[in-house]
Amino acid sequence: MDIATVIGLFLGFALVIGSILIGGGGLGPFINVPSLMITVGGSFAALLINFPLAKVLGVASVVKKCFTVALPSTAEVIERFMNLSTIVRRDGLLALENEFDSIDDEFLKRGLEMVVGGSSREELTSILEIEVAYIEQRHQNGKKIIDATAAAAPAFGMIGTLIGLVQMLRTLDDPSQIGVGMATALLTTLYGAVIANLVCIPLAGKLEARSQEEVLIRELMIAGMGALVEGHPPRIVQERLVAFLAPAHRPEPETTAAAA
């Protein structure tokens, strides 16, 4: 679980709700189903027009990446490939097949099947790089939909507020209702602002960071599989993979020597 995303969302909503409760009058006046309907529903309608249906429905699985940590860390990937290279040097490439059961990652499994199947390093790299490009593109599509929502929600919030204002202004003769009418009209603007600034804009940012992270892990795996095909010893495999990391993330020489 990406604890920062969860804490951030929890903290943000806690602050918004807390700030409402401190102001007095309770949460009641801030909950209004029709206001939610026009803001959320209107944004969703705009998304349906804007994007192919399949992409709108698929955005949830992309957003899930902002909350879950399905990927191994770079250290784990490097260690795994050092182990795999030990196996390959001891028992040959075919021995990798025994490892398949312990691998959950689809991308890694497919790659290793190609390694066992005798693909050359060039073949392996070119096919897997295309796959990485498609993974990146799917993330970009997801980000585009979230960005569009971040723009649509405040717009439909404003549309809702305009509708509320027009209705309130036509009944000015009942002064007791002016304040309540205007307060309700402003709710959609508030909803739109919260959806955009507390949910969509930050999630789009996290999605981009996650995408870069996944691409790095995938590149690391491709480099590792290339090294397996060429039959390098664990030490060389480690060296090659470590070169992908920022200096601050590189393991200390002693530690990795022990791990090796």
Which 144-173 residues touch a copy of itself, going by CB under 8 A? 148, 151-152, 155-156, 158-160, 162-167, 169-173
**Contact pattern for a copy of itself over residues 18 through 47, marking x by CB under 8 A:** xxx-xxxx---xx---x--xx--xx-xxxx
Q: Which of 87, 198, 215, 259 is close enough to bind a copy of itself by CB under 8 A? A: 198
Residue number, 188 or 238, with CB nearest to a copy of itself: 188
Q: Is 159 exposed, middle or buried (0-12, 13-18, 19+ CB in 10 A)?
A: middle
Distance CA 223, CA 132 (A): 13
Q: Which of 101, 102, 106, 246 is close enough to bind a copy of itself by CB under 8 A? A: 246
Number of residues that bind a copy of itself (CB under 8 A): 85
* Footprint (CB under 8 A) of a copy of itself, residues 50-79: 50-53, 56, 66
Residue number, 20 or 223, with CB nearest to a copy of itself: 20
Q: Which of 103, 182, 236, 259 is close enough to bind a copy of itself by CB under 8 A? A: 182
- 186 C-beta neighbours (distance < 10 Å), count: 16
